[in-house]
Amino acid sequence: MSQPGRIRSAAGSIRSILAMVFWGVLLCVLVVLGYQFFKMKMLVGHYKEGVVEITQKYQGILDEYNRAVDTFNELKSRYNEVLARTIITELKVENNKCSVILKNSEGVLAEIPVEVNLRKEVFVDYIYFDNRLFIRRVFDSGTAPERAADILALQNVRGFLPAAIDWSDPKFRSGKSIYRKLTDGAWMITVTGGGALDIDRKENIPHLEFISPLEGFLLKDYKPENGELLQKAFDEKINKYAGELGVLDVLKFALGISGGK
């Protein structure tokens, strides 16, 4: 074979080898890209399933929170209602000074000083509402009733009284009075054995049990799942899935043999 023929033969061989290398490299690149594509597609599908799962958990937490808020609001409304029903008024006499105490089951709400001469008979003007007696005015026998301060007209007092009281009702425009001499101590309006009203020392009046605003409610110790813990568990699950995903799993998914590991 002549020299030119050998050169052409060698050049042809080189081109064939280069072509084989090129197509081989291209095939490898396509295989790698295809493997990564289908693996990523499987990861995305698994990620979507995880997102749906964690979203459902978050929704469950949100629903539980909303139920807790509704229960709290119901308890708050009932508690305020019960507190309003436990409002009482009493007289406090100490060091020749007199004041009206407004209190409920939580304690003293307000103390309003009243100007009276304790050496004289003390009149207590009251109103009747919801089976309770509320002290309205306190004055001595030397003071005209219309000159005595109307305690229940004070806004800081009315705000604590039952909202159901209609102050425009004519029956609340004036009260009824009872009287007696007062000495140091706490005094309340009470009912005598004969059915008449009287002013007696607080310690002589039977104690009334207050209604618990929580009565009838089943309270449970609820500990919602922490959001950060849910996110951490989700990330660990995805990472574990990605680490366990093998070539065979990707090949089966690419060929449609399986929907994913």
For 14-69, the pLDDT digits (tens) are: 777 877 877 878 788 877 787 778 778 777 777 777 777 777 777 777 777 788 77
Work out the pLDDT band at 99, boundaries 50, 70, 90. very high
* 3-state per-residue secondary structure call for the chain: CCHHHHHHHHHHHHHHHHHHHHHHHHHHHHHHHHHHHHHHHHHHHHHHHHHHHHHHHHHHHHHHHHHHHHHHHHHHHHHHHHHHHCCEEEEEEECCEEEEEEEECCEEEEEEEECCCCCCCEEEEEEEECCEEEEEEEEECCCCHHHCCCHHHCHHHHCCCCCCCCCCCHHHCCCEEEEECCCCEEEEEEECCCCCEEEEEHHHCCCCCCCCCCCCCCCCCCCCCCHHHHHHHHHHHHHHHHHHCCHHHHHHHHCCCCCCC
pLDDT-above-90 percentage for the chain: 2
* pLDDT score for 192: 60
Determine the Cα–Cα distance for residues 51 and 73; give it in Å rounded to an integer: 32
- Residue-wise pLDDT for 65-80, tens only, equals 788 778 777 877 777 6
pLDDT of 120-161, one tens digit each? 988 888 888 877 788 888 988 888 888 888 888 887 788 777
Per-residue pLDDT tens digits for 211-220:
555 555 555 5
